[in-house]
Chains A and B, each alone.
Chain A
């Protein structure tokens, strides 16, 4: 199982995502100017400040040559995970519904958050324990998930909301406490908190983030088998 981790100018969580992916499989970096994904079986669009976040977070990265390849890969059913800035990029690319707006507290906020997993039967949460929550860090200024009311209703009705901030944890003002959503097909998923920063209990006291990567490995290998 081979992950590809995109790397834009301004990415800063690419190496942690690479290290996290390597705990469950093989992984390589994919520079933004490449037009191929090097045979990767799952893609991670990492956090950071791609292209300086100029104009809007993710607005310019969305047109990177590597992103054109990711869009094609996603349309063919490939697994794509977007973390933080990567989530913003996937929303800008319209691979995921909605948008990320400035935090209601108007501050860059970095803290551990507790997340409720709403569905453990998906390609991104299959390794999570039903009923358990995840403790992973979040760190961003633009993490307020927004979609219009009919879209939010549809997302909930179709089970596309996979992660919610637990009560008291929604510091950014995300509508309906949404922390992570998948696309309708179920092969693209984005979340604002950082599973790649919670892969070893030695750092931060939680390895819960590893479950997201492990879920993707299981899903990709199941699909290939």
Chain B
């Protein structure tokens, strides 16, 4: 590729990246216009913490795995599980529904006739969540700490964030792949929800993977959510540092890249198919 072509390509990428804050601002303004839903989300979060706090009183701490030599309480165990999987579910839900929502509200074609790459539209449509959901996650953990004394290792925060950063592209890739399916078949958000729940249940969010049936345990262990969760729990409950979470990051990185590549290819193919069929605006 010539220098001119490379330069032009780099220029295009920069131009596309410059558009992303516009999506963020749009979604922030839209979300803020639904203030009640915004506050209800926080209320739900609080209720969830309260419920699991009382459930935790029924669970024998001896059955909870230990992290960094210290046995964790069920509340500590489940708080991280809920934080990470709600992060995944909200992000996944938004990626899947972003294009569908544009289609339903009639703005998809208006977006697609602007000189904006479909990938930018996809990424831009979830950018707000990519900021909001991690903030929500840390506030959730903070509330658990303040209200119910659920403590976490502060030293493990940055390594946990490191794992989360490589986990995000994996979720995005799965989401874009699902969005391609929804764009093609017009339905399927329900199936995506079932898939996400299956992933969550087998990931050790609410209970240790060790209590699953023996035949399911090998599958649960290769579930990327399980892999991420184990590392994040080690960091936040056992104080694991970068050296201990790096193998997980190295393992998750190619999974995330493959997930994104498959998702983007599938989404472009779905978009091309819709253009060919002339059904892009139909819902």
Instruction: Answer yes or no: do A and B interact.
Output: no
